[in-house]
Chain A
Amino acid sequence: MTAPVEARRLTKRYGTLTAVDNLDLCVQPGEIYGFLGPNGAGKTTTLRMLLGLIRPTSGEVRLFGRAPGRLDGVGALIEGPAFYPYLTGRDNLRVMARHAGVAPARVAAVLDQVELTVRAGDRYATYSLGMKQRLGVAATLLKDPRLIVLDEPTNGLDPAGMADMRLLVRRLGAAGCTVLLSSHLMTEVQELCDRVGVIAAGRLVAESTVAELRGEPGLRLVAAPAGRCRGTGPKPARPARRPGHRRRSATHRAPRPALPS
Chain B
Amino acid sequence: MHSPRRLSRSGDATRLADDIRAETTKLVRRPAIWALLAIAIGLSLTFTYLIPYAGYAGGTGGPRADRGLAALLPDQLVGNSIGGLPVFLGALMLILGVLAVGSEYASGTWKTVVTQDPARLRVYAAKLVTVCLAALAGVLAVFAVGAVASIAVALAESRTMTWPGAGDLLAGVGAGWLIAAMWTVLGALSGIALRGVALPVGLGLVWLLAVQNLLALIAAPLLGWVAQLQKALPGPHAGSLVAALGASGDTPGVEARVSGDRAALIVGGYLLVFAAAGDALLRRRDIL
Contact = CB atoms under 8 A, between A and B. Distances in A.
Contacts, number: 117
Interface in A167-212: 175-177
Given A54-B286, A74-B117, A86 B31 contact: yes
A55 B286 contact: yes
Given A54-B286, A105-B5, A82 B108 contact: yes
Contact of A144 (B2, B21, B109): B2
Interface residues on A, range: 35 or more
A63 B217 CA distance: 58
A54 B287 contact: yes
Nearest to A72: B117
Interface string B1-19: 1111111010000110011
A81 B113 CA distance: 11
B114 A53 contact: yes
Interface string A147-169: 00000000000000000000000
B158 interface: no
Contact of A82 (B15, B21, B112): B112
A33 B30 CA distance: 39
B230 to A, nearest CB: 39
Contacts of B115: 51, 53, 71, 74-76, 78, 140
Contacts of B22: 94-96, 98-99
B64 interface: no
A-side interface mostly? loop
Contact of A53 (B3, B117, B118, B286): B286
Given A99-B18, A100-B116, A85 B29 contact: no
B18 A71 contact: no
A176 B1 contact: yes
A101 B123 contact: no
Given A82-B109, A102-B4, 11 more contacts: A51-B114, A53-B286, A54-B287, A70-B117, A71-B115, A75-B115, A78-B111, A82-B107, A82-B108, A99-B118, A141-B1
17 contacts: A48-B286, A53-B288, A74-B115, A82-B107, A82-B109, A83-B109, A83-B112, A84-B26, A96-B112, A99-B123, A101-B9, A101-B117, A102-B7, A103-B4, A136-B112, A139-B112, A177-B1
Interface of A: 48, 51-55, 70-72, 74-76, 78-87, 91, 94-96, 98-103, 105-106, 109, 136, 139-144, 175-177
Contacts of A101: 6-7, 9, 14-15, 18, 117-118
Most buried by A among B7, B9, B19: B7
A144 B114 CA distance: 16
B110 to A, nearest CB: 8
Contacts of B3: 144
B44 to A, nearest CB: 26
Contacts of A102: 4-7
B25 interface: yes
A87 B26 CA distance: 8
A91 B30 CA distance: 12
B118 A100 contact: yes
